[in-house]
Amino acid sequence: MTNIAEKLAAQQKEISIAEFFEKNKQILGFDSPTKALITAVKEGVDNSLDACEEARILPDIYVEITETTRGEFKIIIEDNGPGIVKRQIANVFGRLLYGSRFHAIRQSRGQQGIGISAVVMYGQLTTGKAAFVISKTAHQEVAHYAKLLINIKRNRPDILEEDFKVWEGKEHGTRFEITVSGRYVAGKQSVLEYLRATAIVNPHVNITFKDPTGGIINLHRVSEDLPKETIEAKPHPEGIELGQFMNMGKASQHRKLTAFLVNEFSRVSPRVAKEICNKAGVPESRSPKRMSLEEGRAIQKAIAQVKIMAPKTDCLTPIGEVLIRKGMRNVLEGLKPGYYSPPVTREPKVYSGHPFQVEVGIVYGGQLPRDQPVEILRFGNRVPLLYQQGSDVITKAIAGVDWRRYGLEQRGGKGIPYGPAIIMVHVASTQIPFTSEAKDAIANMTPIREEIERALRLCARKLKTHLGKKAKRAKTQEKFDIVQILIPEIAEKAASIVGKPVPKLGKTVTSIMNVIWIDDKLEYDKKRHKGEIHIYNYMAVKRKLNVHTILPANSLDKKKINPEPSEIKGDKITWKLKGIPSTEMFTISFELTGLDKNELGDIEIYISDINPTHVIGAEPLPGDWDLDERGQHSLLAFDDANGEEYEDDIEDDDDENGMDYDEATEMIEDEATEVISNEE
């Protein structure tokens, strides 16, 4: 037995990380020829974007794929980033788990230091060919050139060639070239789909793509604004795991527990630190190094009971509602969507001590298929997630929303909805919990899933508002046709029969319509957005109401607002209209400057101080609780904290909004008969 144990012990040896991943390449996303090619491009582009943004350079990225032999493709990725100093080129491209972002608590695409070196490893494993790197930093006359492989046993680079190289016309940047085994496809889950999706959530990037057929596709930037620079943060105490907390305590240089909590965690003030210690029953003077497991557990429980400020947002770079809209319009315009729902960017939340932020956008209509599941665009830290959709927390959150309430078909009341829509979800975090090193899917963490569901409901409610407004308009359009065509014709015929002037039709019109009709127009001309809001009073009496809209205040030309608003509060503008006479129209006009053509979406119009069931084309102002004639609340209440919607019990019948088509036609005949009888 002793000899067997000795033999087994002799067989034990350390495995290098490169050797492990070489034998388990599927973990890194190289589990099929198609996916391998996309992964290789993705890792190179992600590195380029991170480098450019850290150097505050608007990224210009060139991607080229050429089929060298059957099943082998040469990939070239070139950027205008800051370049890499000579001594680091080999380590960056030829050593796994080597990087600068793993320990930094701030949002970035790369974290583990695996991506681009894994591409080099996969290339040499499948084709036996080395990688080529050219990099030039600013103010250097020549670039550095390296040809390298990875020493799998040692996880170290093997430099085959190294030299200086003249790079004409290039002030700074990096060019990476690798040959890999793969398969190029078009359509879904393709390199082009990845690049298009990248352009949506990175509207500041300019991408040029040359495909294997020689075709060139340009994805132009639509924003000159770089994402805000992130600042490294400390971990937030909420949600931190016990083992991690104890390890931080043992590594701390602080002598007192309160000093440890204040200086090594985010948002913990001296007052909060003392309150945590008091609730936990642990002395403030306790050394964090000597903290027992029971004391650590008590402090962890106390943290959950103490009110601590939300995490700082300067470690995150959300895309923002304006840029989401611009990115989606830029890339998806070919599908001619009928509606871009105003995007939603939620406030930061925390999981396991790491802040995260959720953003959602919805596109509806146009050429999108109506009889298929909606398309889902998933993103983590501005990176498209193309694979493992079913296991992703974003997909699970979408399936958990009751989309039937928002105008989409959902068979069985659960699962992915059907309809002509695209749902975009972006999760930004200092540490996204991916399900594997391939970073294809985000793990189903409860705080993240619940926050995505809240954001989805908020955005879906805006879609529901749009669809409801559209349906109401269509329903009321029949009455407009009657008002504009049939009534004048009948009145003229009746008048000609009796030889009298055409009677006034105001009373008849208001009896049929019985609504306030609001529509809007937005045009872009000479770098200015010109908008108009028309309010028609198709009611029998003079009506007063308040009209509200949301416009970017910093772009609003206050001299071009007509009439002068009653109130401007931030981006919200209010006009208190004291009375629009029956059958008359009132017009509000405004202009905005300094915005790109696609930067402003639909005009959001709200009304208050009027029963909203009498208004077509605008929604009740959130928080306005005017009672209708029956003493009931006349609008939808929305609980933003829970992300759930509660509807009142008002019936949507024709009596509220006037007559239906048959009733209106019958009334016209009666009116005409009465006119003729009176004249006779």
DSSP output for 597-640: TTT--SPPEEEESS-GGGEES-EEPTT---B-TTSSB-S-EEET
| pLDDT tens-place string over residues 78-128 | 999 999 988 888 888 877 765 544 445 667 776 555 778 888 888 888 898
Beta-carbon contacts of 342 under 8 Å, excluding residues fewer than 6 positions away, are 321, 325, 459, 462, 601, 602, 604
Question: Which pLDDT score is estimated for 643?
Answer: 41
Q: What structural domains does the chain harbor? A: 17-219 (3.30.565.10), 242-305 (1.10.8), 466-646 (2.60.40.2960)
Strands 619-620 and 605-608 turn out to be: parallel
Residues of the chain with pLDDT below 50 are 100-103, 625-661, 675-676, 679-680
Q: Which of 264, 236, 233, 240 is nearest to 103 (CA)?
A: 233
- In this structure, how many other beta carbons lie within 10 angstroms of the beta carbon of residue 413? 8
Tokens 């400057």 -> residue:
593
CB distance 366 to 336 below 8 Å? yes
The first and second tokens of residue 432, run together, are: 């996204």
Question: Which pLDDT score is estimated for 223?
Answer: 86
d(CA 108, CA 51): 10
DSSP output for 328-386: HHHHHGGG--SEEEEEEEPPPEEETTEEEEEEEEEEESTTS-SSSBPEEEEEETTEE--
| pLDDT tens-place string over residues 412-464 | 778 899 999 999 999 999 888 888 877 889 999 999 999 999 999 999 988 88
> What does residue 578 show for φ and ψ, rounded to 5 degrees?
-75, -20
CB distance 536 to 514 below 8 Å? no
Strands 615-616 and 515-525 turn out to be: parallel
Question: Which pLDDT score is estimated for 24?
Answer: 63
Residue 587: strand pairing partners: 534
Residue 572: strand pairing partners: 550, 569
Residue 354: strand pairing partners: 351
d(CA 607, CA 622): 9
Tokens 């009746």 -> residue:
494
d(CA 60, CA 55): 13
Question: Which pLDDT score is estimated for 19?
Answer: 62
Q: How far is CA 259 from CA 234, 253, 283, 308, in A?
A: 14, 10, 12, 16
Sign (positive/negative) of CA torsion 475, 477, 480, 486?
Answer: negative
